[in-house]
Chains A and B, each alone.
Chain A
Amino acid sequence: MQLKIDSRTVEVDADPDMPLLWVLRDLLGLTGVKYGCGIAQCGACTVHIDGVAVRSCQVPAGDVWGPVTTIQGLGTPDAPHPVQAAWIETQVAQCGYCQSGQIMQAAALLAELPDPTDDDIDSAMEGNLCRCGTYPRIRAAVRLAAAKMREQKT
C-alpha cells in the first residue's frame, strides 16, 4: 500500500490490519515513534494524521486516511519545530521515551488553540503518560512554545 509519511510517499508491504505504529517502526525504521502500551493508554505512539493527533497503535495501516507526520517529520535536530525547540530549551526530558508523543500531542494542541488555557493544556495532555514525572516541565514547555509561536505569527 501507499502511505504519505513525513512528506514522502512510501510503498509498504503491510497487512491492512497491522497498526500504523508497527508499520512506522518495524517496516519503515521510523523509531522516533514509540511503543508503550498498545492500547491507547500512554500516548507514546502519537503521530498526526491530517494534522490530528492520533494513537498510531490503534490505527490499522489500511485505515490511514491522510498524510502522516511523525516526530521525525515534525522537525529535525538541526531545524526543530517550535514545540521541539521549546522542549529543548525547557530541558523537559528525563528518560525521554514518552516525549515524542508528548511533543506531537502538544503540537496538535497549539495548531488548534494557539493560546491554550491551563485547562486546555490539562485536557489535551492527559492521555500522555510520563513515568519519570516531567509534567511540570511539559506544562512550562507547552506555554513557552505557545508564546513563541504566537510571536512568530505577529
Chain B
Amino acid sequence: MSRAKKIARRTFLAGGAALAGGIAFGVWRYHTPYRNPLLASLNDGEAALTPYVLITLQGITLITPRADLGQGATHAQALLIAEELDVDLDQIATDPGTPSVAYWNRALADEAAAFLAPGDGILHGAATTTVAAASKFLGLQITGGSTTIPDAFTPLRAAGASARETLKRAASQTTGTPLAQLTTAGGAVLLPDGTRLPYTDLAATAATIDPVTDVPLRKPGQWRLIGKPTQRLDIRAKSTGTQTYGIDVTVPGMMHATVLLNPAQGGELGKYDTAKAFEIPQVQSVIEITGGLGIVADTTWHAFKGAKAIAADWPEAPMPETMAAHWQALADSFTEDRLDSRKRDDGDVESALAEAEVIEAEYRAPYLAHAPLEPLCAVVRVTDTEAEVWTGTQIPRFVQANVARLAGLKAEAVTVHAQMIGGSFGHRLEDEVVKHATEIALQMKGVPIKLTYSREMDMTHDFPRQIAMARMGGAVSDGRVEAFDLSIAMPSVFASQLSRQGMPFQGPDSQIVAGAFEQPFSIPHHRVTGYRAPELAPISSWRSVGASSNGFFYNAGLDELIHAAGADPLEERLRLCTDARARAVLEAVAEMSDWSGPVPGAGLGRGVALTHSFGVPCAQVVEVRQTDSGLRVSRVWVAAEVGRVVDPVNFENLVAGGVIFGLGHAMFSEITYETGRAQQDNFDTYPSLRLPQSPEIAVRGLETGPEVKGIGEPPVAPAAPALAAAIFAVTGQRLREMPFSKTVSFA
C-alpha cells in the first residue's frame, strides 16, 4: 500500500475514536488511551483491533507483551484474549509486540504504591494514584512482581471481547444480518444458517468500524479456557529443540562476542595485554567497554578462547574486602540512623520484653545468584540512524532507552525484538548485557554483534539477591506467643537496581521488611523494624525479592517462640491467624499432609511455614527423613490462595518449581565475595537441588479470595523456613543461617 493511502486510511479510522492515529479500544487504557503500536505496520486489509489483537488475511496474532521467562506468560496472556475473542489456541500465533507505553504494567505500579504506604487508608489511595500515574508516564512495561496475571486478567479479556464484538459488527454490515442473530466460535462469526465468516476475512471491514468498547465480560461459568487444563503454546517447540531463545538468534552478517569483565564486581578496566588473544586467528577485535573488554570473533567459542587469553591487571572494586566485613556492615546497621521503616508496631513490645524471659536469635541469608540456565545474551546492530536489539528482557522500554542513549539515537530509532527467555528469576530485570553489546556494536557499525556471556561471567557479574540479617526477641506465656520483635537489616534492593537505570530512590524500601511486616498473625506485642544497610555488593530483585530472606526470618523466629511456648506450630499459627485466606491455606496443608505434629514417626520431621507475599498467602508443610547418607527432603504439601487459577497446569508447575527453587537455595547455595570477587563462578561451586533430591510435591490452589493473583514468586519464601523447622523436628538442631548445608548434610 502506498504511504499516502496508509495515512488516509488512518486519518479515516481515527475519525471515529478519540485517538491520535489509531483504532485501539479503550479497554486497556487508564485515564486516556495510548496510541496503538500495532497500527504503524499495518497493510491493507489488516486490522489491529486493540493493542493485543492483530488480524490479517493470513491469520490471527495475539500480542503478549509480558516477557516469557518460562513462567508461561505468553500462554496465559493468549489464553485470556482467546477466551473472549472466541478463537481456539491452535488458531493463533503470538508475538511479544514492540516496547510501548500501551503495555505498561498497572498492577506493578499498584504493588509499588502499596510498598510505599501499605494499607494506610487515604495515604495508600493517594500513593497508588501517584505511583500509577508516574508508572504510566514512564511507560513501565515491566514483567515482574508476579503481576502478569493480575495486570492482564481484565484488560486482555476485554481486548478479546472488544475485538469479537467489532468483528460481529463487520459481519452484520457485510451480510445485513442483525447483530443479535450473530454468534462467534473458532475464530469466525456464525450466521444463523451456520455459515462461517472467518475473522481473517472480516478484518478489512472491521478496520473501518469504530471499535466496540465496554463489552460485558463473560461469567466464569461460560469460560471455555480459563481454569481448564490446556496445552501450553510453546510445549511442542520446547520439547523438540525448536524453540528459539535469545541465545539462538541468528542475524545475517553477525559476529560473535563475549566479555571479559573486571572480576571485582563494579571495578573498572585496568591495563591489559591482548597479544595472546590475537594469536588466535579467529579473534577479530578487542573493544574497551565499561568495566572490561569485549572480544569479537567468528564464533562464541573463539570469543571465549580469546577472552581467556587476555592478561589484565584489574583495579579493586568499591566493596568490603572480606565476607566478614559484609556481615559486619549488616550487624552495624541495627541503629536509629539506619532505621528505614517500622510498618508494624502492635501492643507494647518494649514493656512486654522488659518483663519477660526473652528468647533471642539471629538469622542470616546470603547473596544468591539468579543463574538461569540460559546465560545473558543480546544481539545488537547499530548504524548512524538506527539500532536493532534482539534480546530476552523484562524491561524492554529501558533497553530501548539505554541503547538509544549510548548510540545517540532517539528511542523511536531503536527496535527491540523481544525473545523467549531461558529462565530469569529476576536476572533479566537488568540490562547490562545489552549495554555491553551496544558498546561493542558502536565500534563496529552495521555489524550485528551477538554477545554471549560465559557462565562464569554471568554468575560472577550477576547482581545477586540481597544479603540480609535479622534479630529476633520474643516472649511466651501460658503456651502462647505473647511478644515477637523482629528487626531486619539489608541494603536496599530498589536503590541498587534503580541506580543502574540512573533513577534515584529515596525510600523507605518496603522490600527490607516485605514477607515479615504484613504477615496475617495477631500477636499481642508485635513489631517489625527495617534497617537499611549501606550498599555492599550491588544487588537486584531475585524471585520473591525481600520475602526470599524475610519469609525465612519471620517464620524461623515465630517457630522458635511457638516451640518455647510448647504449642503445635500449625495449631498456634492457626490460632494467631487473622486472615481468612491465610487460614484457608494453613487448613489446606494440615488436611493434605494429615498433620499430626512435627514428628509423625521415627526419623521423620515436619515443619510448617506460611508467608503472605505478592498478595498471596502460601503455606507449606515440608517433611524430612533421616537417612544413612544424610537428611532427605521427602515430601512437601503446599497450598496458595490466588483468587482464580487461570491455567491449572502452569499453576501446579510454577508452585512446585517455586518450592524447589526455595528449598534448593536454602539447602546449598550462596555467593560470597573476597575483595569484590565472587567466589562461585559455575554450577560446581554454586550447587542446586537436582532430580534425586527433588521431593514429592502436592499442590493445591485455592480460589476463595476476590482478586486474581500471580503465583511466580509466592511459593518461594515459605520453603526454607518449613524445611528448617522440619530439620529441627528430626535433629533438634536450629538452623539460623542459609545455606543449611553449612550445618547439616543432605542425602
Contacts and interface: CB of A to CB of B under 8 A. Distances in A.
A106 to B, nearest CB: 11
Interface in A10-25: 18-19, 22, 25
A30 to B, nearest CB: 8
Contacts of A74: 241
A96 interface: yes
Contacts of B694: 133, 135-136, 139
Nearest to A138: B691
A151 interface: no
A98 B653 contact: no
Contacts of A130: 373, 691
A88 B240 CA distance: 9
Interface in A113-154: 121-123, 125-139
**Looking at A35, A92, A94, which has the most chain B CB atoms within 10 Å of its CB?**
A94
Contact of B659 (A125, A133, A138): A133
Contacts of B304: 38
Nearest to A75: B240
Contact of A93 (B238, B659, B661): B238
A94 B300 contact: no
B452 interface: yes
Nearest to B653: A94
Interface in B360-418: 371-375
B645 to A, nearest CB: 15
Interface stretch (B26-34, B67-75, B116-124, B160-168): B67-75
A139 B692 CA distance: 10
A79 B455 CA distance: 33
A55 interface: no
B69 A95 contact: yes
Interface in B303-362: 304
A94 B71 contact: yes
Given A34-B374, A133-B658, A122 B691 contact: yes
B240 A94 contact: no
Nearest to A118: B692
B506 interface: no
Given A29-B250, A31-B248, A88-B235, A126 B690 contact: yes
Interface in B660-676: 660-661, 664
A7 interface: no
B301 A136 contact: no
A72 B14 CA distance: 48
Interface residues of A, number: 59
Contact of A123 (B240, B692, B696): B692
B299 A26 contact: yes
B66 to A, nearest CB: 14
A29 B609 CA distance: 47
B391 to A, nearest CB: 15
B143 to A, nearest CB: 13
B373 A44 contact: yes
Interface string A87-111: 1100111111111100100000000
Contact of B692 (A32, A96, A122): A122
B78 to A, nearest CB: 15
A116 B394 CA distance: 40
**Looking at A33, A34, A98, which has the most chain B CB atoms within 10 Å of its CB?**
A34
A96 B299 contact: no
Q: Contact size class for B?
A: 35 or more
Contacts of B372: 95, 97, 131
Nearest to A70: B241
A36 B734 CA distance: 36
A71 B423 contact: no
B90 to A, nearest CB: 13
B245 A97 contact: yes
A121 B374 CA distance: 25
A133 B689 contact: yes
Contacts of A127: 690
Interface stretch (B259-267, B680-688, B701-709): B680-688
B127 interface: no
B224 interface: no
Nearest to B452: A35
A41 interface: yes
B240 A84 contact: yes
A22 B300 contact: yes
B654 interface: yes
B692 A126 contact: yes
Contact of A139 (B71, B452, B688, B691): B691
Nearest to A85: B239
Contacts of A122: 691-692
B234 interface: yes
Given A22-B300, A95-B374, A134 B653 contact: yes
Interface string A76-89: 11001000100110
Contact of A132 (B234, B245, B657): B657
A44 B423 CA distance: 13
B622 to A, nearest CB: 14
Nearest to B450: A26
B657 A26 contact: no
Nearest to A102: B691
B454 A38 contact: yes
A99 B239 contact: yes
B299 A76 contact: no
Contacts of B375: 35-36
B70 A95 contact: yes
B524 to A, nearest CB: 39
B237 A94 contact: no
B243 A96 contact: yes
B232 interface: yes
A128 to B, nearest CB: 7
B685 to A, nearest CB: 9
A136 B232 contact: no
Given A18-B301, A134-B657, A32 B241 contact: yes
A31 to B, nearest CB: 4
A136 B683 contact: no
Contacts of B130: none
B455 A36 contact: yes
A42 interface: yes
B697 interface: yes
A70 B242 CA distance: 11
B242 A27 contact: no
Contacts of B575: none
A110 to B, nearest CB: 15
A95 B373 contact: yes
Nearest to A72: B241
B236 interface: yes
Given A41-B682, A133-B657, A99 B238 contact: yes
A74 B239 CA distance: 11
B234 A136 contact: no
Given A39-B683, A93-B232, 16 more contacts: A18-B301, A26-B256, A26-B300, A27-B299, A29-B250, A36-B373, A36-B455, A41-B682, A80-B236, A93-B234, A94-B654, A95-B372, A96-B237, A132-B661, A133-B657, A135-B660
Top 9 A-B pairs ranked by shortest CB distance? A32-B241, A95-B70, A133-B660, A97-B422, A96-B238, A71-B241, A133-B657, A135-B694, A31-B248
10 contacts: A25-B248, A34-B373, A35-B452, A77-B237, A88-B236, A93-B232, A93-B234, A94-B71, A99-B239, A139-B694
Interface of B: 69-72, 231-232, 234-245, 247-248, 250, 256, 299-301, 304, 371-375, 421-425, 452, 454-455, 649, 653-654, 656-661, 664, 682-684, 688-692, 694, 696-697
